Structure 1
Amino acid sequence: MRELSVGEVARRSGVAVSALHFYERKGLIHSLRTAGNQRRYAGDVLRRIAVIRVAQRVGIPLDAVRDALASLPEGRTPSPDDWAELSGRWREDLDQRIAQLTSLRDRLGDCIGCGCLSISACALANPGDALASQGPGARRWIGP
């Protein structure tokens, strides 16, 4: 298999060289080193980067992406079947986020223009002052 330079990978993947170095430090991709200590990547790194970028775009944390990719046998690049399994792991989290955003969207209109700015009375941010029972600190829009 032909090895690609970091510049070639950056150009073909649309990812900055600095991002490739970051992905490598995070254990998402790996490179080989030449005798001159230059990075070289196997061609299949492009698919791995595509998986990483799609996961990032939908809000999957890089640690979760790394763990998912590390679960593949022998660290291989994800096949379509692998992608189906990996993305299935994230489905519940994505469904919860979609539900939160849908609720926010649907309830947001109730507050536009009211100007109450009341943390204890706001029907959107703190209905019935329910947050008081959870103790001090930032509680709004943060999951349990």
Structure 2
Amino acid sequence: MKKTDLLSIGELAERTGISTSAIRFYEEKELVMPARNNGGQRRFMRADIRRISFILVAQEFGFTIAEIGVQLKRLPEGRAPNKADWTKLSTHFKIHLDARIAKMNALRERLEGCMGCGCLSLNKCQLYNAGDAAASYGRGPRYVMGDDPIQTLDE
């Protein structure tokens, strides 16, 4: 590896358009792993530009840092990923992305039918949660997220 293949944190920030503090955060979360020079300064591989680009795109799609980290663990450490490495990562990531798209499409359909209808039918409304029955499924709007409403005696 040539010295010109390594970037300072400032150079990486300039190339990726994100702040140095964001890069340090990604380092803390082990999404990027710079080397250190004799003076202790971080040195990033040019391939980290692509890693950070992947992180930014995945965040735009709503993936968490932890989820992104799982995907990036598929890439090799200590060398620039090659086409086969990125193909392997993209194959696994596509599965998660397809599942997220399916979930979002289902949510869109539920919201169009629920919030947009104006029917105010408590028997059909996926936002109605009599007696907080949905709490047994976990946090959040459980029926809108796809859990089946619990049938109550007064229906």
Q: Aligning the two structures, in what range does the TM-score lie when normalised by the shorter sequence?
A: 0.7 to 0.9
Q: TM (normalized to structure 2)?
A: 0.69
**Structure 1: any 5+ residue segments left out of the alignment?**
none
Question: Per the alignment, do residues 72 and 121 of structure 1 end up closer, same or farther by CA in structure 2, a change over 3 Å counting?
Answer: same
Partners of 1:61 and 1:41 in 2: CA distance:
23
Q: Deviations over 1:68-94 (max 9, x none)?
A: 333334443333332222122133332
Question: Per the alignment, do residues 51 and 21 of structure 1 end up closer, same or farther by CA in structure 2, a change over 3 Å counting?
Answer: same
Q: 2:93 aligns with which of 90, 114, 123?
A: 90
Q: 1:107 aligns with which of 107, 110, 113?
A: 110
Q: Deviations over 1:100-127 (max 9, x none)?
A: 22222223233326274x8x64523359
Question: Per the alignment, do residues 35 and 68 of structure 1 end up closer, same or farther by CA in structure 2, a change over 3 Å counting?
Answer: same
- 1:32-51 matched pairs, under 5 angstroms: 32-51=35-54
Deviation at 1:24, TM superposition (A): 0.5
Question: Per the alignment, do residues 64 and 112 of structure 1 end up closer, same or farther by CA in structure 2, a change over 3 Å counting?
Answer: closer
SS at 1:138 equivalent: coil
Q: 1:53 aligns with which of 49, 53, 56?
A: 56
Report what 1:63 is aligned to. 66
Deviation at 1:143, TM superposition (A): 6.7
Aligned Cα RMSD in Å?
3.1
SS at 1:109 equivalent: helix
One-letter amino acid of the structure 1 residue matched with residue 85 of structure 2:
D
Partners of 2:128 and 2:93 in 1: CA distance:
29
Deviation at 1:13, TM superposition (A): 0.9
Partners of 1:121 and 1:30 in 2: CA distance:
53
Report what 1:132 is aligned to. 133
CA contact (8 A) 2:7 2:45 kept: yes
Q: TM (normalized to structure 1)?
A: 0.73
**Structure 2: any 5+ residue segments left out of the alignment?**
148-155
Q: Work out the number of aligned pairs and report it.
A: 140
4+ residue stretches of structure 1 with deviation over 4 A? Answer: 141-144
Question: Per the alignment, do residues 57 and 82 of structure 1 end up closer, same or farther by CA in structure 2, a change over 3 Å counting?
Answer: farther
Partners of 2:146 and 2:84 in 1: CA distance:
31
Q: Deviations over 1:1-57 (max 9, x none)?
A: 222111111011111111100010011112223343322222222122122222222
